[in-house]
């Protein structure tokens, strides 16, 4: 862009996934001049790069962006590829101006608003919406650095499937959606799994009385909530997953791992810090 007043956009949106595209739809409804900058080579690329079995934790009828329903029957949990395909179809359906391979490398204030630089272009806009999400830089707690090198450590951002890990028991650290889904998949595959969570809140099932918890949360009675609070987390095979609310004083297995971690001694089980992405 040459920097003339005609090049001044109303809004620049940085990030072209679900938040950025939903914002773009609203901007289009207002007939504003805007652009969506996405670092990936294709819309939905971030979703396709996650682990193989990732699904949304909300059923399809609750997964739509404004103006376009999510395809498929209700009460199913779409997988990552279905989400990526939906996002790409969404951008095409509304002719949203998405620039691919356009990673924002600089954002600065100007007299008229803001300047955004990518490796190939410079954009100027009166307003900027940053919709990159908080999970682009996987975080591993510093304490994990004290584990012996014999311990396989893998962040959920790098996890793909159970075959990705060496044989043996697994400690999944983190009780977010990623941690729970990965722990369930590993348990279903026959692994010994401990799930360490940092909250003493009760573990709720995904479905309650035949309905997804997301859909019935507002009308849940106190008795139903109590029943949900006492429910166990189970794998797809019906086997209960051991869940620990205190990662430093968990089961004998987890406690041994954490003791080894704190002392720097070797430990023998892989660990997966979970919850890299909000499904």
Task: Give per-residue pLDDT as tens, 226-260.
Answer: 333 333 333 444 445 554 444 333 344 444 444 44
Please give the tally of structural domains in the chain.
2
Range of the domain at 243: 142-273
Phi, then psi, of 85 in degrees rounded to 5: -65, -40
**Average pLDDT in the 51-62 region?**
90
Reduced 3-state DSSP string for 192-223: CEEEECCCCCCCCCCEECCEEHHHHHHHCCHH
187 lies in some domain: yes
Quote the tokens at residue 240: 């209960």
Helix (H, G, I), strand (E, B) or coil at 163: helix
Is pLDDT of 119 > 50?
A: yes
Q: Which of 110, 130, 150 is the last residue of a domain?
A: 130
Asked if residue 64 is part of any domain, the answer here is: yes
- Is the domain of 115 the same as that of 152? no
Same domain, 147 and 59: no
Q: Check pLDDT > 50 for residue 47.
A: yes
User: Are 16 and 92 contained in the same domain?
Assistant: yes
CA distance 127 to 9: 8
User: What whole-number distance in Å separates Cα of residue 33 and Cα of residue 1?
Assistant: 14
CATH number for 91: 3.50.50.60
Tell me the pTM: 0.70
253 shares a domain with 205: yes
Q: Dmax over Cα atoms in the chain, in whole Å?
A: 67
Q: Residue 268 is encoded by which pair of tokens? A: 């023998």
Looking at the structure, tell me whether residues 156 and 109 fall in a common domain: no
Inside any domain, residue 135: no
For residues 184 and 90, state if they share a domain: no
Last residue of a domain, one of 80, 100, 130: 130
Q: Mention every residue, 6+ apart, whose C-beta is less than 8 A from residue 107.
A: 14, 114, 115, 116, 117, 128, 130
Query: Could you report the per-residue pLDDT of 74-110, keeping only the tens digit for each?
Result: 889 999 999 999 999 999 999 999 999 999 999 999 9
Same-domain pairing of 123 and 169: no
State whether 104 and 157 are in the same domain: no
Quote the tokens at residue 215: 């859909």
**Phi-psi sector, 168: left (phi>0), alpha (psi -120 to 50), beta:** left
Model confidence over 203-219: pLDDT tens digits? 555 665 566 665 555 44
């Amino acid at each position: 862009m040459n920097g003339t007043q005609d090049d001044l956009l109303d809004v620049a949106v940085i990030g072209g996934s679900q938040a950025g595209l939903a914002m773009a739809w609203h901007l289009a409804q207002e007939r504003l001049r805007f652009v969506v900058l996405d670092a990936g080579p294709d819309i939905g690329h971030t979703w396709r790069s996650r682990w193989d079995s990732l699904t949304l934790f909300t059923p399809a009828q609750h997964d739509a962006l404004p103006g376009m329903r999510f395809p498929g029957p209700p009460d199913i949990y779409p997988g990552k590829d279905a989400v990526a395909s939906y996002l790409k179809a969404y951008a095409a359906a509304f002719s949203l101006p998405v620039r691919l391979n356009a990673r924002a490398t600089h954002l600065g204030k100007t007299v008229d608003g803001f300047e955004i630089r990518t490796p190939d272009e410079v954009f100027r806009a009166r307003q900027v919406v940053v919709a990159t999400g908080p999970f682009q830089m996987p975080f591993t707690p510093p304490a994990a650095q004290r584990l012996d090198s014999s311990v396989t450590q893998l962040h959920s951002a790098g996890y793909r499937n159970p075959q990705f890990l060496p044989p043996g028991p697994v400690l999944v650290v983190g009780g977010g959606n990623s941690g729970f889904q990965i722990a369930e998949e590993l348990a279903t595959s026959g692994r010994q799994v401990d799930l360490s969570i940092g909250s003493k809140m009760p573990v709720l099932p995904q479905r309650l009385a035949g309905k997804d918890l997301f859909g019935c949360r507002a009308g849940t009675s106190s008795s139903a909530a109590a029943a949900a609070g006492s429910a166990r987390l189970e794998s797809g095979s019906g086997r209960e997953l051991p869940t620990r609310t205190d990662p430093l004083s968990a089961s004998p297995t987890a406690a041994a791992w954490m003791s080894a971690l704190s002392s720097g001694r070797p430990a023998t089980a892989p660990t997966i810090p979970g919850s890299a992405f909000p499904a």
